[in-house]
Amino acid sequence: MRLVLLGPPGAGKGTQAKLLAEQFRVPQVSSGDLLREAVQRETPLGLEAKGFMERGELVPDEVLLGAIEERLAAADCYQGFILDGFPRTIAQAEALCKLLGAGKLRLDSVVSMRVPEPTLVSRLSGRRTCRNCGALYHVEFNPPRQAEVCNRCGSDLFQREDDREETIRARLQVYARQTAPLLDWYRERGRLAEIDGLGDRSEVFSRIVTCVETRG
């Protein structure tokens, strides 16, 4: 299972990638999580990426691509992966195609989630993430049983730095300018499935699984 999830910030890529990873027993590979971990650990990648992420801009390919290649070459990705947040530009999609092609592999599905902008803004501004296990919550749509505490592991929840309203707007603009053209790129190659990303998380999940199974 080699699947790419596309969609604007807040579309639910991370939420669905976790469910799909469990269902198909392959890892979720999130470029955002990989970068946030590097920022937190203050690695050279993190130090270079930090400013771009704080401004809601894309991290340049020369900074990010090596780390993605390394992650996809890890043993746990041999049987496949759910890519969440990568690729985000046509150049990144071409780099991925080349990387997979070198191993005589290809993507099974590219699924894009459509969600209207006001919903994206409210999903992002209420998101909370577990500092320890990465579980995702929403203060209104999926609240933890105890405020600011993870149901799964009991650790603190935090609000992402880039989930402040000003940065959310910047990220949505970056998506429209730099990532939306990627939909046409995959569509022209007959690889794109588009689904409605509105509704309950389990409904969205079923739509993605149907796409994956009918294309497989």
Work out how close the CB of 126 gets to ligand AP5 at its nearest, in angstroms, rounded to a whole number.
6
Q: Which of residues 41-60 bind ligand AP5 (CB under 6 A)?
A: 52-53, 56-59
- DSSP tag of 146: B
Nearest-5° Cα angle at 21, 46 to 91? 50
DSSP string covering 117-140: HHHHHHHHHTEEEETTT--EEETT
Work out how close the CB of 60 gets to ligand AP5 at its nearest, in angstroms, rounded to a whole number.
7
The smaller minimum CB distance to ligand AP5, of residues 13 and 104, is found at 13
Question: Helix crossing, 201-215 with 13-24: angle to 10°?
Answer: 60
Among 3, 4, 10, 28, binds ligand AP5 (CB under 6 A): 10
CA torsion through residues 186, 190, 196, 202, sign: negative
Work out how close the CB of 10 gets to ligand AP5 at its nearest, in angstroms, rounded to a whole number.
5
**Binding residues for ligand AP5 (CB under 6 A):** 7, 9-15, 31-32, 35, 52-53, 56-59, 64, 85-86, 88, 92, 123-124, 127, 136-138, 141-142, 162, 171, 199, 201, 204
